């Protein structure tokens, strides 16, 4: 093989290898930063991975909010009216957070509990996260009726 051809081949292989490495690292970074949505039913069925950042949503169960008097720790339950999951959160809850409200949390599973790092509440009476609405529909609940089971209206 001619020395010039060998040099060109080496440069082409080096460029292809560099591009492959960059694409591989990019895909790895994207995989690490993705957080998928899970309904309470999926969490109870064990579909949510332990220790990985996930989003979960549902309606806050009436009477489930327990606040620590000495800190900002809050414990509450979310439901899709089929299953219920306990959420632990330390921080200031959104102003619109209340029982019977549709919310989305972001956090990590720790056993059967979700340790949340962020809690988001819907911004008005008509809006509900598409993921929460879909989870409620799968559970046989009409999301437009604010969490009432389909048989109640």
Q: What is the pLDDT of residue 19?
A: 93
Looking at the chain, list the stretches that DSSP marks H as alpha helix, in order from N- to C-terminal side. 3-33, 40-44, 130-138
- Residue 138 to residues 112, 127, 145, 147, Cα–Cα distance (Å): 21, 18, 15, 12
Chain position carrying tokens 């598409």: 130
Tens-digit pLDDT profile for residues 5-14? 888 888 999 9
Q: Which residue has the higher pLDDT, 153 or 62?
A: 62
User: How far is C-alpha 31 from the geometric centre of its chain's CA atoms?
Assistant: 14
Of 94, 81, 91, the residue nearest 123 (C-alpha): 94
**Rounded Cα–Cα distance for residues 147 and 17 (Å):** 54
Mean pLDDT of 140-146: 63
Of 115, 114, 73, the residue nearest 93 (C-alpha): 73
């Amino acid at each position: 093989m001619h020395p010039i051809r060998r040099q060109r081949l080496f440069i082409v292989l080096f460029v292809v290898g560099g591009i492959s490495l960059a694409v591989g690292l990019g895909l790895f970074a994207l995989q690490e930063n993705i957080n998928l949505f899970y309904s309470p039913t999926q969490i109870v069925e064990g579909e949510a991975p332990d220790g990985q950042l996930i989003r979960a949503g549902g309606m806050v169960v009436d009477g489930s909010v327990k606040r620590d008097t000495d800190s900002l720790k809050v414990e509450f339950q979310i439901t899709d009216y089929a299953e219920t999951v306990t959420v632990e959160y330390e921080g200031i809850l959104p102003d619109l957070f209340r029982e019977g409200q549709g919310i989305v949390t972001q956090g990590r599973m720790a056993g059967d509990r979700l340790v949340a790092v962020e809690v988001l509440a819907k911004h008005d009476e008509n809006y509900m996260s598409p993921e929460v609405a879909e989870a409620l529909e799968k559970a046989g609940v009409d999301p437009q009726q604010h969490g009432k089971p389909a048989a109640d209206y």
